[in-house]
Amino acid sequence: MIWRCPICRRPTDSAADRHSPFCSERCRLGDLGAWASGRYAISEPALEFDDADFAAREEEDNET
DSSP code per residue over 36-54? HHTSS---S-SS---HHHH
| pTM, full prediction | 0.59
- For residue 59, give its domain range: 2-63
Q: How many structural domains does the chain have?
A: 1
CATH assignment at residue 33 = 3.30.50.10
pLDDT digits (tens, 9 = 90+) for 1-46: 888 999 999 999 888 888 889 999 999 999 999 999 989 888 777 7
